[in-house]
Amino acid sequence: MRTQNATAYRFLTPYLLIFAIFWIWPIISSFLISFQATRTVPWRFAPTFNWGRLIGDPAFYNALKNTLLILVIQVPVMISLAIVMAVLLNSPLLKARGLYRFAFFAPVVVGEVAYSAVFRLMFSLDFGIINKLLNSVGIPKVDWFSNVTPAMALIMIAVTWRWAGYNAIIILAGLQSIPEDVYEAATLDRVSRLRQFFHITLPLLKPVIVFCAVLSIIGTMQLFTEPFLITERGGPGGGTETLGLLLYRQGFRSLNFGYASAVAYTMAGLAIAITLVQLWLTRDPK
């Protein structure tokens, strides 16, 4: 047994080494860096330098506000949409199920740059199909990129488009694990389809939905691609800047690693805190 374990670990060594260098060490290192002033040479230890700045930084609060706003609106909308999509996908009436499953999953594997470019085109002020469609039903053109509210909406729409199908597929797996005869029993109990959904399907899907919500919260806390590529680095005027973007700007534009690390730890801390609150709120009564 002992030697077996030793052999196994020897085989694991290359992986563990890489894991330690590229995962563990950066996590520890960035924690330490967040307590250093990194704009001086050499860096010096200054525990309150970055964290103190963070607490008083309007740019941080702006990014935090935007991130949480997206989180609070987009995640519930997307999960609800994903549940509806999953239920439709699970319907025996649906033809060509495989095609839909592929279509739902496709956005995840499309390249981020390509997808962002297409969204920019679709939502462009004068040439975009979205404005044309809005116009055709009598709604005036929306300047998606120059006003904060439409720009935030655009980010949420884009993120939802990209991840709703992915979540729907996960929820579909949950749906399919609910045995058919439970619904038959409910039918014999004179429980309507709609009530079956609320009293049987939803409660039984709860673990899956919580799982999807946790994944989405973690993803949205790190939101970067859409505000970077679609609304051009958090435009208009920082109106869609997220924590992820702030981290990027501080770390890789201003090369202020200490401050970027502090932002990174704040993001991680918030993601953990929100997830814990969520798990606590949806815990099984016992």
94/184 with CB nearer other proteins: 184
Q: Which stretch binds other proteins (CB under 8 A): 16-24, 50-58, 104-112, 202-210?
A: 202-210
172-178, long-range: CB < 8 A, 24+ apart: 172/86, 172/89, 172/90, 172/101, 173/208, 174/86, 174/204, 174/205, 174/207, 174/208, 174/209, 175/86, 175/87, 175/90, 175/201, 175/205, 176/90, 178/204, 178/205
**Does residue 183 come out as left (phi exceeding 0), alpha (psi in the -120 to 50 range) or beta?**
alpha
Shortest separation between residue 108's beta carbon and other proteins, angstroms: 30
Q: Using CB under 8 A, which residues numbered 204 to 263 contact other proteins?
A: 204, 206
Of positions 24, 133, 185, 276, contacts other proteins by CB under 8 A: 185
| Residue 86 CB neighbours (<10 A) | 28
Shortest separation between residue 284's beta carbon and other proteins, angstroms: 9
182/272 with CB nearer other proteins: 182
CA gap 89, 112 in Å, rounded: 26
Q: How many residues of this chain bind other proteins (CB under 8 A)?
A: 17
The reply on whether position 203 binds other proteins by CB under 8 A is: yes
CA gap 174, 178 in Å, rounded: 7
The reply on whether position 283 binds other proteins by CB under 8 A is: no
Q: Which stretch binds other proteins (CB under 8 A): 40-48, 97-105, 158-166, 175-183?
A: 175-183
Distances (CA, A) of 207 to 203, 210, 212, 279, 280: 8, 5, 9, 10, 12
Identify the residue whose tokens are 């609150």. Answer: 277
The reply on whether position 181 binds other proteins by CB under 8 A is: yes
The reply on whether position 173 binds other proteins by CB under 8 A is: no
Of positions 65, 141, 199, 253, contacts other proteins by CB under 8 A: 199
Of positions 188, 194, 280, 283, contacts other proteins by CB under 8 A: 188
Q: Quick check: bond before 236 cis, omega within 30?
A: yes
Of positions 37, 68, 200, 270, contacts other proteins by CB under 8 A: 200
The reply on whether position 195 binds other proteins by CB under 8 A is: yes
Residues that bind other proteins (CB under 8 A): 179, 181-182, 184-191, 195, 199-200, 203-204, 206
